[in-house]
Amino acid sequence: MKPHYDITVIGAGPAGLACAISLSGKGYKIAVFERDHHPGAKVCGDAISPDALGQLKKIHPGLYDAVLDSAGKHPCEGLRLFSPSGKNLDLYFGDEGKSTFGFTLPRSIFDNILFRFADSCPDIEIFSNTSIQRCVPVNNNIILESGDMSFSAAFVVGADGANSILHPLLKSKRNNSLVSMGIRTYAENVSVSGPGNLIELHYLKEIVPGYFWIFPLNNNRFNVGMGIPAQLIIKRRINLNKLFLSIIRDHPVISQRFSQAGIPDNPGSSIIPMGRSVKKFSGERFLIAGDAAGLVDPLSGEGIGNALRSGRLAARHIQEAFEMKRYDADFNMRYDENIKKALFTEFRINRFISHLSGSPWFVEQVIRMGRINPWFRGLLKKSLMSPSSRRVFITQNAKNSK
């Protein structure tokens, strides 16, 4: 007899656990499969945005409180942007130097807060060190195979990353032109570039529209990484690891920041599926969410908030499916439409701005205008926080470029 569950979730990251926790207490038997011992090894900048916090509160207030109470968080007051020529612009998201916008928290801590919360739910069973190798629709269930074990489920959620085991069932290929590669390591004793707890984004001419980042963590630790569009890597035949380490060690400005910092020779890297890189998000008796659905913001590279959102929306849809006893692909397209309605307008705007930032000249002009013009600086700050403000930002820059 195969163990049977109403709902199985593949992947115990933010999207999968958000879905499982949102469904807990609704009368379902739920299983979560995690291929590692515990989640948290994701290549990520470790920034927890207000959007991510808002999603946590909607999923469960206890999650929101647990993250806010974490001793591992480090306050961040805004952004420090560096142009290709090295000029910087500081954008504080509250009153300058006074109010915090969000914070950083290592993914190993953040994901495990969600993991422990889900594990405490009596109707959620978590299988660690269990890799699902195949999902096969059989009659009115989906069979999940893991080595010599197999499970059956009435409904499956794929939240297992960019190469989800459910992608073959979608019969729709990922758009690799909308994929980036990320690389990240941790360092101590990185020299600070200026006042304030600011997240740094360096738009280096070698990698725009990608960027090099330095995110402060607590205890004098820093998350150091880089994201580059996969097409640029292929076109220029970039060795990602080699370029990343050469920037840290040889860049005329950045290398000085790391003179006292020990950098590992083997930083972690992974695929970053940007918004709309996946065309379909559902089929008969299954949905995909988070990175499996390609929901990373194409401008900022932030994915936690959208992962949590997609997990919450997936849970809401699954509850409707069970209530109406509708598990077919046509009904599940409602989930696709909800994802598109929630995110695709902003993805379209952000992708356009990201495309513009592929020009070093454009980045130089934006930072120059922000340095000398308080009104434009305010517009830029708002554009990073509000989709409607981003439309104004695009219009204004189109006028300035004529």
Least-confidence region, from 9-23, 263-277, 309-323 = 263-277
Which pLDDT belongs to residue 156? 98
Q: What is the pTM of this model?
A: 0.91
Position with higher pLDDT, 21 vs 358 = 21
Distance CA 13, CA 42 (A): 9
184-214 pLDDT, tens digit each? 999 998 998 887 789 999 999 889 999 999 9
37, 59 Cβ separation under 8 angstroms: no
Q: Architecture of domain 74-104+177-272 in CATH?
A: 2-Layer Sandwich (3.30)
pLDDT at 1 over 70: no
**Side chain identity at residue 310, one-letter code:** S
* Residue with the two structure tokens 């699954």: 318
Task: Return all residues near 314 (Cβ < 8 A) that are at least 6 apart.
Answer: 15, 19, 157, 287, 289, 335
CATH code matching the domain that covers 4-70+105-175+276-352, chosen among 1.20.120.420, 3.40.50.300, 3.50.50.60, 3.40.50.150: 3.50.50.60
Closest alpha carbon to 138 in 8, 285, 325, 282:
285
Q: Parse the chain into domains and list their residue ranges.
A: 4-70+105-175+276-352, 74-104+177-272, 359-400
41-67 pLDDT, tens digit each? 678 889 998 889 999 999 999 999 999
298, 350 Cβ separation under 8 angstroms: yes
Which pLDDT belongs to residue 347? 87
Structure tokens at 168: 């073959």
Which pLDDT belongs to residue 51? 86
Q: How confident is residue 98, by pLDDT bands cut at 50, 70 and 90?
A: very low
105, 67 Cβ separation under 8 angstroms: yes
Long-range contacts of residues 262-268, Cβ cutoff 8 Å, at least 24 apart: 262/187, 262/188, 262/189, 263/185, 263/187, 263/224, 264/185, 266/241, 267/183, 267/184, 267/185, 267/225, 267/241, 268/41, 268/43, 268/183, 268/184, 268/185
190, 21 Cβ separation under 8 angstroms: no
Closest alpha carbon to 232 in 203, 210, 205, 247:
210
Which pLDDT belongs to residue 396? 54
The DSSP-derived string for 88-137 is EEEEESSSTTT---EEE--HHHHHHHHHHHHHTSTTEEEETT----EEEE
